[in-house]
């Protein structure tokens, strides 16, 4: 049987449409796979940055604790951290854990980025209490302040301290 000329035109058109559809499906699959790979990499970079920033802030709290044990009263230790990590802002939260009675205070510094859905914890021990608080990322100052007759540390943003 011999195909008529009209059937060939339809066949070419159908083949063309099928090729375009398959190409579109393949390209969208590649874009979706590439997007998830990029998101995984962003989370990994954010987690690595939080590790470094956590150690820097823990060192600042430790330094403030050491200086406070020498009798310093007006004590401020600035820790310069970036305003954003992985392209988004982040928060630093301080929570107290329950150490054994004969041990110094134990606190967890939690770095979290709501945009990247990543958080990282660093534990720090101090002889003086640390106020439980939450501050945005950026320059943070560890301040020794009086609280009900006793001295405690507080984390505040650099803007809250002012020039001093």
Convert the pLDDT of each residue in 126-153 to its tens digit: 988 899 999 999 999 999 888 777 788 8
Convert the pLDDT of each residue in 91-107 to its tens digit: 999 999 976 677 778 99
Contact 122, 108 (CB under 8 A): yes
> What pLDDT does 9 receive?
59
Whether the model pTM is above 0.75: no
Contact 45, 86 (CB under 8 A): yes
Which residues on adjacent β-strands are paired with residue 156?
Answer: 141
Q: What is the mean pLDDT of residues 64-71?
A: 88
């Amino acid at each position: 049987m011999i195909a008529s000329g009209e059937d060939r035109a339809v066949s070419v058109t159908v083949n063309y449409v099928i090729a375009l559809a398959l190409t579109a499906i393949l390209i969208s699959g590649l874009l979706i796979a590439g997007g998830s790979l990029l998101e995984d990499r962003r989370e990994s970079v954010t987690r690595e940055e939080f590790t470094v920033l956590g150690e820097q802030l823990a060192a600042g709290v430790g330094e403030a604790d050491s200086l406070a044990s020498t009798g310093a009263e007006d004590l401020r230790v600035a820790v310069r951290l970036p305003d954003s990590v992985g392209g988004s802002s982040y928060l630093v939260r301080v929570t107290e854990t329950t150490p054994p009675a004969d041990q110094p205070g134990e606190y967890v510094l939690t770095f979290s980025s709501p945009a990247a859905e990543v958080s990282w914890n660093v534990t720090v021990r101090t002889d003086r209490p640390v106020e439980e608080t939450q501050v945005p990322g950026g320059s943070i100052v560890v301040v020794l302040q009086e609280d009900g007759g006793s001295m405690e540390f507080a984390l505040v943003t650099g803007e809250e301290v002012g020039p001093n």
